[in-house]
Amino acid sequence: MLSFFKDYKIFAIVFGVISIIIVSIIYNTLNVYRPLPIYQPAMVSTELVDSTIQHQKKYHKIADFALINQNGKTVTQNNYKDKIYVADFFFTTCQTICPIMTNHMVDIQKEILNDDEVMLLSHSVTPEIDTVAQLKRYAIEKGVIDRKWNLVTGNKKDIYKLARKSYLAVKDNGDGGPFDMIHTENFMLIDKKRQIRGFYDGTNSEEIERLLNDIAILKEEYKN
């Protein structure tokens, strides 16, 4: 009887070790690096995409731009050359989702503060209200760090085109002027080739964690 239990104990130990090895192999196999998708207009809800590009299935990139930031300086695509960045659309007088989105951008700013590879870019959808002075006040109030985060304003037509034809991020109002837009809660992750690599709910803290994780995945892409 004692011999039986001794043999059983040995079997249980060996079986346990083998099980741990098998589980480890399966875990490592399932956690193989997977690159982030590259979003094209045809992959995004049509209400967020200009009708002229809704069919596009490849080669989509963020267009060149020239806008004015909170310090009155011109910001172009060259300021984001060889950078990963998070973009969104907002307005300073918004009392609904914008404060939450901005607070989450502040959280992201804290995480990337010492990472020279990553920046932020927020576009105003009410440039007639969001003057340079207004953006500066907002930036100071929210703790925006100039070297990491640009709040930009400019010609409404140009911002509309960027939102609908590049970032695929806002809805067409349809009730007002030709460039009226309704911004969404979306944050967009943009890679060093100016491609969209992710969309995230900027009002959801769990989505912000996912975004930060995807930034890490994207950085790995550039190491390979």
Please state the length of the chain.
224
Q: Which of 136, 131, 118, 124 is nearest to 98 (CA)?
A: 124
* 123 Cβ contact list (under 8 Å, min separation 6): 67, 87, 88, 89, 90, 152, 159, 162, 163
Domain definitions of the chain by residue range = 1-32, 41-221
183 is in an annotated binding site: yes
Ordered per-residue pLDDT tens for the chain, 224 residues: 545 445 555 655 555 556 555 544 444 444 566 899 999 999 999 999 999 999 999 999 999 999 999 999 999 999 999 999 999 999 999 999 999 999 999 999 999 999 999 999 999 999 999 999 999 999 999 999 999 999 999 999 999 999 999 999 999 875 555 677 888 999 999 999 999 999 999 999 999 999 999 999 999 998 86
Give the predicted TM-score (pTM) of the model.
Answer: 0.83
Pick the CATH number of 41-221 from 1.25.40.10, 3.40.30.10, 2.70.50.60, 3.40.640.10: 3.40.30.10
